[in-house]
Amino acid sequence: MAEGARIPLRHDYRVIVLGSGISGLFVALETRRLGPVLVLTKGSVDDCNTRWAQGGIAAAIGPLDSPEQHLADTIAAGAGLVDHDAAHVLCFEGPQRIRDLITYGVPFDSLDGEIALGREAAHSQSRIVHAGGDRTGAEIETALTGAAYDPAITIVDHILATRILVEDGRAVGVEAIDLQTGAHETFVAPAVVIATGGAGRLYSHTTNPDVTTGDGVVLGFEAGAEVADLEFYQFHPTAFRQEGEQQFLISEAVRGEGAILRNKAGERFMPRYHALAELAPRDIVARAIANEMREDGADHVSLDCTGITRVDLAVRFPGIHEFCLEHGIDMAKDPIPVSPAAHYLMGGIRTDLHARTTVPGLYACGEVACTGVHGANRLASNSLLETVVFAKRAAEHIAGGQGGAAEPSVEAIGAGIPGVSAPGHETLQRLMWECAGIERDATRLERALATIATWHEASPATRPEFERRQMATLAQLMLRAALQRTESRGAHYRADFPERDDAHWLRRQVFRRAD
């Protein structure tokens, strides 16, 4: 591997992977025996969502657990829209993928010689596999990056993929700009895998790093691939909130160990909203916190960890503990100020059970993809599992040389989206938070669409310009999907349509390019 190489030795590859998080690196490692693999990433190799994942990976490996129970929990959390076949694959193949990660050197935490298992919201069993306490993502990223130092894999960092090349209806390569030299590059391969992660940076409050601007979803859409479920954006209930500070994820696993939420008056409020209290599904906890903040005129609630005595907080959550100390908070004694933040895109490029998109030769894995396993509301810690399960399936399908593509959806809606550019990242982020955040309604959604319609088209020449164009395109798709779904379901809550409507909306929304 030539990490950081400015000009790769060749421009034709067996597989091209966009993104260097867990899904991208897993695909690269699993396909390297087929021939040369190229990994392109617009930031540094470890600049991805994977690095910041805290809680862990959900997998049914405990003695009292089973894939059947994991499947039931996943379906229950998804509010009626989970693809049962995809979820079955996720839960039944998950344990083997944990073993694969161990083979690649991921040092999962253990207890008495067995893998330690944590508990998170809406799981009926303790099944959260973690590493480094609350540094699971960082440990995985480190292990996979180390394994990717292989002659068959070339990783080129700080290079921006700007277009999927499509010839005769098939993906055949990628156009990119080298962000350090300004050179325009063209790379070709019979298999292209989009693994660029999510889109948290569309919102002003997010747990995601700067690179998560939704580029990959738009690259797939513009190449002709269908996208789905874009109205379902998960807002994590507990992100550290302090004026002037970037929000920092406070893992759900902290509540799994016994932390409780208190409002401005010091009252524990979650039992008023759901029988599972702090361990209710994320959409319920996030809306409850938002409601308490609104009633109190506050910008946060408090996460109280002082009652946790069965674990050493500094050992179980070293990253969170260290972060809090740096901000003057001893989580064993002091309340942590938290509020909801954009966290995870349930929708994305629509894929089948082999991670194929509707464009032959084009695959998608990880948060950029919509496999259907999350439905309208992702079950905690199913995301990292989804990345490796479907990355493995993508690699197997590529190796099998079977070709083909996902079957087009008969319900896909043709969408003509103007290629406008936001005036600035912050302008779009504020608009999306205000109009398409935890609670939406027709007035705000229409206002956001009308505002974007006034923005000008642009021919991006720099990374910020390209990101603003991609963000504006994805925002329009998300807003349109949210406006059309006239009900509340999972993470999509319409204040003007507060009830779930199975009679009309027990279905997914799928978009494709109008042309």
Catalytic residue, from 97, 201, 241, 282: name it.
282
> How many other CB atoms are there within 10 angstroms of residue 14's CB atom?
18
CB 348 within 8 Å of CB 364: yes
**DSSP 3-state of 283:** helix
CA distance 90 to 201: 27
**DSSP 3-state of 342:** strand
**DSSP 3-state of 289:** helix
CA distance 507 to 485: 10
The token pair that represents 349 in the structure block: 């490029």
- 379's CB contacts (< 8 A; 6+ apart) are 58, 73, 74, 77, 78, 122, 123
CA distance 36 to 153: 6
> How many other CB atoms are there within 10 angstroms of residue 224's CB atom?
17
282 is catalytic: yes
Strands (E), 42-97: 57-58
Query: Which residue is it, tokens 């010689």?
Result: 113
The token pair that represents 221 in the structure block: 């859409």
- Give me the active site residues, please: 282
